[in-house]
Amino acid sequence: CMSVCVSAVAGICPTVPLSNGLHIPILGLGTSHHGGFSHDAVVHALTECGLRHIDTAERYGCEEKLAAAIRESGVPRSDLWLTNKLWPGNYGYRAAKQACLQSCSRMGVDYLDLYLMHWPAAQTPGFSNREVRAETWRALEELYEEGVCRAIGVSNFLVKHLEQLKEDCNVVPHVNQVEYHLLHQPSQLMSYCRQEGIVFEGFSPLAKGQALSLPAVCQMAEKYKRTPAQICIRWSVQNGVVTIPKSTKKSRIQENCQVFGFELEKADMMLLCGLQNGTHVSWDPTDVE
């Protein structure tokens, strides 16, 4: 469990450097399908909370809605960090390039700050996952060279998938976005990413609510006079992990952003690192070859 000092002037979100020199805000707002999008919440996050990093995916079906919320916020495109993800149904060289341009079009932007392959398994009969991943990644490398994507990466990839990509391709992913919370701390994957210069990004920092009622979290919330959610998110960012909590409630988003005005003591960080038990609250990529 690696703790790094992450503090910030009020209202300014710290950033994490990517291997290509860009800086990604360490805290973002996640969106999702099945009611995981709220226009008012996104506008509030951008205008009242100072959030500049928004994470979405083709799969979530809210790209056009997001475009409208960003327009309404009045925040200039150049101030935003927008991440999108390519769904496996569009893996393959030509399909990937087309899907990326369509996502840009639906979001009303000329470029994406970060574009991720959403999942390590392909849906292409007759080809191995590895072949399809390599072919798809070549399309992302070109989109990166063309400036359509300022950075490229993967999501839910394990060490074995990253190792193969390294052998098959030229550009090492700038980011790997995976499930990361108190109950699921893939430390070997984290170490591998750091060693390879891949920024480690975590989704589901509250373990879909499961982490909020853990006794240790509740005790620390009292000790630091913070909420359980703030303890969980602070722990994640203090470990240097780019963290993207999801919420559609204005008050929750406000709460989730207020994690830079305090620091967890080293002993408390270690205690929280000890809560790991391998629980997945999202899809588990372990069996994907």
Q: What are phi and psi of 237, to 5 degrees?
A: -70, -35
Cβ neighbours, 10 Å, residue 144 = 17
Following CA atoms 78, 81, 87, 93 in sequence, which dihedral angle do they give, to the nearest 10 degrees? 50
Phi-psi region of 225 (alpha: psi -120 to 50; beta: other; left: phi over 0): left
Alpha-helical regions (H) of 78-186 = 93-107, 129-145, 159-168
Q: Are 47 and 74 in contact (CB under 8 A)?
A: yes
Whether 60 sits among the annotated catalytic residues: the reply is: yes
Chain CA centroid to CA 82, Å: 11
Query: By C-alpha distance, which of 55, 25, 9, 64 is closest to 237?
Result: 25
CA of 102: how far to CAs of 108, 109, 150, 248, 263, in Å?
10, 10, 16, 25, 42
Catalytic residue among 60, 91, 115, 180: 60
Query: By C-alpha distance, which of 76, 95, 96 is closest to 152?
Result: 96
Binding residues for substrate: 118
With DSSP H G I counted as helix, E B as strand and the rest as coil, what are the percentages for the chain, rounded to 5? 45, 15, 40
DSSP 182-213: TTB--HHHHHHHHHTTPEEEEE-TTGGGGGGG
Q: Which residues are catalytic?
A: 60
